[in-house]
Amino acid sequence: MSIPGRSPQKYAAALCLGLAGANLIRGSTPVALCLCAGLALAAPGREARPVLLLAALALLGWWWGSARLDAFDASVLLPRVGEAAPGLAVVTGPARGGEFDLRVPATLRRFGAVGLREPVMLDLPVGRSPPQGAIIALRGRLRLPRPASHGFDERTWLRRHGVHVFVLARGWRLVGRRGGIGGYADRVRRWLARGVAPGLAGERRAVLEGIVLGEDQELSSGLRTDFRVSGLYHLLAVSGQNVMFVAACVLGLAWLLRVPRWIGELGALAGIASYVLAVGAQPSVIRAGIAGALGSIAWLSARQRDRWHFLLVGALVLLAWSPYNLLDAGFQLSFAAVVAIFVAVPLAKDWFAGYPLPPGLPEVLAVSLACGVATAPILWLEFGRIPVYSVPANALAAPVVAPLLGLSFAAAVAAPVSTGFAALIAAANGWLAAYLVWCAHLIAGLPGASVSSTPAAIGLLLLCAAGAGKLHLSRQGR
């Protein structure tokens, strides 16, 4: 695989490499400055300047990444673990309910007499959970996250998200709601949550909310497992398809209203930004949002669109914010799948084109196969399980995904105007959600639906590698 060789892509790749390298070894400002000065003094001539510039950008990324990691690892609350005091917190995400408690992501603004802005995880009693965006008063005691157990290191996982302590509280009191951009994001999220599935309940509502908002906490553990085993769990994570659909809907509405294209592109930018803010800072969402925004900006500025450039800029933004994103499974799966689509899908489409398949099915199979092979090693390393039938599962699910998204957004738009009409749309959409549930149950119930043992996983990965190599050789022979 080779990334196009023009300068912007090379420079972005060099910065990404430096940012990612901070996870291996951290640098300091004096060290980075000395290395950059050494590169400048070593420049023998004009021909070496581009290479030295790439090296300098990598060093710059390494220095910035090291500084960001130090910031994520710093904590005002960590030395005060075990203390109890009144506090003020802003809820920054949806609550996740357990058997004995609620886990709620928040930013602690005050603890005792100390004012601060540090991410924490609230540990609240089972019952009513504070809504996202709520400002709550509580009396809490600081405790450490649990150490590594059963293959999951909660303490390390939370630290990579800037969370170092839990705040254990027996109760809370609503004192307000946040404003600004966060408040706007909360309002958009509430609008979508109320509008995508009015009148529905149970599995159908949970699936629609999962696909539109990326929430899976309302799904039963059994259904969640079936989506994972079948290879359809990616549908419950907001992805580029959702962002593209939002932009397409805005542009289509602009076309119907006969407004100028540039107004439609500005509307698409606003729609993408609103949706990304509403569903949260998931790596796949940020990547897709940046790609969609750059596409609109490229049209407005009459510049050529370059998908590799869009992908690298998305990686650059995510890694510049937190190099720890490189270690996140969502980041790895999202970028591996997109690179597979860019590189392997054309090869797979040519291979499937030789078979008598219905129109559109070769592309669906090619995308499923390429993404399945590319993400299999990551799924094994991160979750210890590889779905075996992901290609036929995605082929079964593909026909309803786009209509389901369209009906979901249509119901959300109609809900403020006519609740009855929105409920009618949601009722029709519920059948599509039920079909996806049926697909997940069907595929997960097949013998050997997933591989979890080490020998079987290694064998499957070797088989995938051999198939990919054979496909590449057959392509070269044509």
Which residues in 358-378 are b (16+ Cβ under 10 Å) and which e? eeeebbbbbbbbbbbbbbbbb
- Look at residue 77 and tell me whether its pLDDT is greater than 60: yes
Q: Which helix (H) or strand (E) holds 355?
A: none
- Look at residue 355 and tell me whether its pLDDT is greater than 90: no
pLDDT at position 109: 94
How many residues in the chain? 478
Rounded to 5 degrees, what angle do the CA atoms 258, 263, 266 make? 140
Q: How far is the CA of 296 from the CAs of 37, 275, 462, in angstroms? A: 39, 15, 41
- Look at residue 356 and tell me whether its pLDDT is greater than 80: no
Sequence letter at residue 245 = F
Q: How far is the CA of 426 from the CAs of 198, 201, 412, 432, 434, in angstroms? A: 6, 11, 9, 10, 12
% of the chain surpassing 90 pLDDT: 21
pLDDT at position 1: 43
- Look at residue 47 and tell me whether its pLDDT is greater than 70: no
**Where does the pLDDT of residue 476 fall: very low under 50, low under 70, confident under 90, or very high at 90 and above?**
low
- Look at residue 82 and tell me whether its pLDDT is greater than 50: yes
pLDDT at position 44: 58
For residue 143, list its beta bridge partners. Answer: 166
Residue 212: alpha-carbon gap to chain centroid: 13
What tokens appear for 245 in the block? 């659909």
- Look at residue 410 and tell me whether its pLDDT is greater than 70: yes
pLDDT at position 218: 79
The answer to which of 181-185, 293-297, 431-435 has the lowest mean pLDDT is 293-297
Higher pLDDT, 131 or 354: 131
Q: Using one digit for the tens of pLDDT, what is the confidence trace for 18-33?
A: 999 999 888 766 666 6
**Where does the pLDDT of residue 319 fall: very low under 50, low under 70, confident under 90, or very high at 90 and above?**
very high
- Look at residue 428 and tell me whether its pLDDT is greater than 70: yes
Taking all residues of the chain, what is their mean pLDDT, rounded to a whole number? 82
pLDDT at position 122: 93
pLDDT at position 372: 83
Rounded (to 5) percent helix, strand, coil in the chain: 65, 15, 25
268 closest CA partner among 288, 302, 245, 240: 245
Higher pLDDT, 408 or 304: 408
Please tell me whether residue 303 adopts helix, strand or coil conformation. Answer: coil
Mean predicted confidence (pLDDT) in 418-422: 88
Predicted TM-score (pTM) of this structure: 0.84
Q: Using one digit for the tens of pLDDT, what is the confidence trace for 230-267?
A: 888 888 877 777 888 888 888 888 888 888 888 888 88
- Look at residue 302 and tell me whether its pLDDT is greater than 60: no
pLDDT at position 238: 77
pLDDT at position 368: 84
Residue 154: alpha-carbon gap to chain centroid: 19
Each domain of the chain, given as residue ranges in start order, spans 7-73, 78-178
- To which residue do tokens 């709550």 refer? 136
For residue 166, list its beta bridge partners. Answer: 121, 143
DSSP code string of 10-61: HHHHHHHHHHHHTTT----HHHHHHHHHHHHHH--SGGGHHHHHHHHHHHHH
Cα–Cα distance, 423 to 412 (Å, whole number): 10
Q: Using one digit for the tens of pLDDT, what is the confidence trace for 116-170?
A: 899 999 999 887 888 889 999 999 999 998 877 766 788 888 898 889 999 999 8
Q: Using one digit for the tens of pLDDT, what is the confidence trace for 218-227?
A: 788 888 888 8
Higher pLDDT, 54 or 425: 425
Cα–Cα distance, 245 to 403 (Å, whole number): 10
Q: How far is the CA of 91 from the CAs of 30, 81, 468, in angstroms? A: 39, 21, 46
For residues 108, 110, 114, 120, the Cα torsion angle rounded to the nearest 10 degrees is -10
pLDDT at position 3: 46
**Where does the pLDDT of residue 478 fall: very low under 50, low under 70, confident under 90, or very high at 90 and above?**
low
**Where does the pLDDT of residue 470 fall: very low under 50, low under 70, confident under 90, or very high at 90 and above?**
low
Q: How far is the CA of 330 from the CAs of 5, 336, 354, in angstroms? A: 27, 10, 34
- To which residue do tokens 């930018």 refer? 269
- Which residues, including other chains, have CB under 8 Å from residue 342's CB and lie 6 or more apart? 307, 308, 311
pLDDT at position 304: 61
pLDDT at position 40: 57
Matching CATH number, 78-178, of 2.40.50.140, 3.30.365.10, 3.40.190.10, 1.10.600.10 = 2.40.50.140
pLDDT at position 102: 86
